[in-house]
Chains A and B, each alone.
Chain A
Amino acid sequence: MSSREEYAPGAAFGAEVRKEGNKWTLVLVRELGHPATKVWQALTDPAQLREWAPFDADRNLGTTGPVTLSTVGAPAQHVSETSVKRAEAPRLLEFSWGEFDIRWELEPLANGTRLTLWTNIGRRFVSMGAAGWHICFDVLDRFLAGDPIGRIVGGAAMKFGGWQRLNAEYAKQFGIEATNPHPTT
């Protein structure tokens, strides 16, 4: 049985950056050994989001319309009044998080689901974002397997042993310079 203390992220994988002028989109792919309907629940149900996601939602994301998202683990809570734009269970979910767009695609596989996340992100933060989502996906995978270890997000993720390494690995893969959230420490 795994636990939060024993968890260590693996090597960076499954991420790419698409650059269209000034707009950079981070694309992350993860294969999960669970059916799309189950993954969909974890992406939309507020109680399940609390197990792995870097935000809280005030309602189920499975229908379009307004929603309030709150950051979790950031130095100050940030609340965004935003909206779900597309919700086509169990295949496609699109919503905004502040000025950023989040798009999830779920593709059924023979023995699970290929989950793809598209999100636009400031170029300085693209490797940090990949490292953060990598850890979120690991936690999601364990939660879906019935072995929840509790979400690791925000400052807690950055203090985590593997975060700095993932940040550096993703920066190398993207061909950018790794930026440190605390350059003078």
Chain B
Amino acid sequence: MKIKVTSIYVNDQEKALRFYTEVLGFVKKADFTQGPYRWLTVASPEEPDGTELQLAPNDNPAARSYQQAMFEQGQPAAMFYVDDVQREHDRTKPLGAEFTMPPTKVTGSTIAMLNDTCGNLIQIVALDRRMRT
């Protein structure tokens, strides 16, 4: 048993694809349709055969309610690990990333939160032991 795919609801798959590839820097992995259904995933260029993130349409009421409630409570819909939060912040901000929490030192790690423009907050995390000094 492996964790191969995890999903995030997005309110616009095309816009999400742009954000997750052009701003965050993931690469498109799978993309096909069947009628109104579009299966779209991205992966990290550091792990092209690693876990895929499905950019799933929030086109049912349960998905929209869940996504909206998480957003309003300031809860991240996903967390991505990076080597250096400040460096990712400085790299993605000029590309249009809107940070709702600047790089912040917390116990054992540094975190920041940004808006994915598709209805979600994304947290980026660098563990202290992983940080390059």
**A binding-site residues for B, Cβ under 8 Å:** 54-55, 69, 71, 73-76, 78, 80, 97-100, 121-122, 124-125, 128-129, 132, 153-154, 158, 179, 181-184
Contacts and interface: CB of A to CB of B under 8 A. Distances in A.
A38 B55 CA distance: 41
B31 A74 contact: no
Nearest to B14: A122
A184 B35 contact: no
Contact of A55 (B27, B28, B35, B43): B35
Nearest to B49: A184
A128 B33 contact: yes
A73 B43 CA distance: 23
8 contacts: A54-B35, A71-B34, A75-B39, A78-B37, A128-B33, A158-B32, A182-B29, A184-B49
Given A74-B37, A78-B36, A100-B36, A181 B27 contact: no
Nearest to A80: B36
Contacts of B35: 54-55, 69, 71, 78, 80, 97-98, 100
Contacts of A181: 30-32
Contacts of B30: 181-182
B48 interface: yes
A114 B32 CA distance: 29
Q: Find the residue from B29, B33, B48, B49 having the highest chain A CB count within 10 A.
A: B33
